[in-house]
Amino acid sequence: MKHFVKICLMLVFTAVFMYPCTSAIITGRASESGRPILWKHRDTGALENKVVHLKGEKYAFTGIYNVSDTLNREMWMGTNETGFSIMNTASYNITEGLTWDKEKDQEGLFMKKALGLCATVEEFEAFLKSQSGLWGIETNIGVIDAQGGAAFYETGYHKFVKYDVNDPAVAPSGYLIRTNFSFAGEPHDGQGYIRYTETSDLFQKEMLKGKLSVEFLLKKATRNMHHGLLKREIWDDYLPEDFNDEYMVSLQDYVVRYWSASVLVVEGIKKGEDRGATTLWTLLGFPLTTLVTPVWIGSGDLLPSVLVSDNGKNPPIVDWSLTLKKRCFPYSKGNSHAYINSAPLKNKQQNGYVQKLVPMEDHIISQTKTLQEQFYKSGVSSKDVKRFNKWLDDYVRSAYETYFDQMGIKYP
């Protein structure tokens, strides 16, 4: 009986505390723009995220934090002023059989410290070596830099294994994907194999068309509702008649899930381009109900107001996104978060979030790319950033206000 209770408690602990993430590093030889790209789709119990710009020990950096972290202690993905970027996914098989008598789950603390100290992949690797045995981390850390460096480090308490994404023997297609298991870890353990398979298939199909783009990562990889094992999208069996035609679908093992809280796509630079033009394509909130809001590392603390937390409050875009998300998860008891109402997302009336709201970000992407080209050549202009941020704040706010009004949803 005690053994049965212990197993039940382990299952509950796993269900509550294992928050999967999906990520990739793409080198310039595999990206459409010829620039390195870092992508992380973050899943976490902290569903309210924010963007913050801080000064580290050596370098200033911009990253994504939990809103509840009012002291900004833990940074979960970001970029510093040198163009060095970092992110991670939890690994559940890299420290199998090892004990750790110190504090665990220190990945956010570790990455914040590294971002404030490191300018290149080589410097990060040296830092990682110097910190062996000092941190409670079980993770796959991904990094890129302004010199084209790109690598994953599958990292445990005492050691790590490096995967150089620029090495054709390691990454023949010019990119690597990681979910919640480490290739250097215990075989057949870990999490995220179905999401890994689905994302790998999606990337391979896209590479058959050409190369991988920011738009592909934002539109397809981030908002992927195709199941890697069932081989179908959630709408394949039934497309709801309208916004209110509730139709519940299991959300088990999709890239998008209830715990999806934010996404970051960092687009680096080519040789000779200004490091400040490194672009952070951010999505705060539920990926299917939020819009992309880009920032540049060279803009420093000039951030769009829709991304900023004021005195512990949610950034506006998070409130808007989560208000819409509630329609997708109408039930709250038991394992209800594992089931999604597909009608508000996509329906025959063509007024779902995915059909009507998300396409509004195409204009954001177009405007950003125009400014990007200018910044690559001549550096980031504070005047242009302020103008862009004002336009972006107004555009995003108007997009939500219009959609809320059209659908008769109370504006938060």
In the block, residue with structure tokens 């060095």: 84
Rounded distance between C-alpha atoms, residue 185 and residue 91, angstroms: 9
pTM: 0.94
List the domains of the chain with CATH numbers: 21-375 (3.60.60.10)
List the pLDDT tens digit at each of the 412 positions of the chain.
333 333 333 333 333 446 689 999 999 999 999 999 999 999 999 999 999 999 999 999 999 999 999 999 999 999 999 999 999 999 999 987 788 888 999 999 999 999 999 999 999 999 999 999 999 999 999 999 999 999 999 999 999 999 999 999 999 999 999 999 999 999 889 999 999 999 999 999 999 999 999 999 999 999 999 999 999 999 999 999 999 999 999 999 999 999 999 999 999 999 999 999 999 999 999 999 999 999 999 999 999 999 999 989 999 999 999 999 999 999 999 999 999 999 999 999 999 999 999 999 999 999 999 999 999 999 999 999 999 999 999 999 999 999 999 999 998 8
C-alpha–C-alpha distance, residues 137 and 390, integer Å:
39
Residue 178's alpha-carbon distances to 1, 20, 26, 166, 228, in angstroms, are 38, 11, 12, 16, 15
384 with 296: CB under 8 angstroms? Answer: no
- pLDDT for 18 equals 60
What value, to the nearest 5°, has the Cα angle with vertex 377 and ends 372 and 379?
Answer: 75
What tokens appear for 154 in the block?
């599958």
CB contact at 8 A, 399 and 290: no
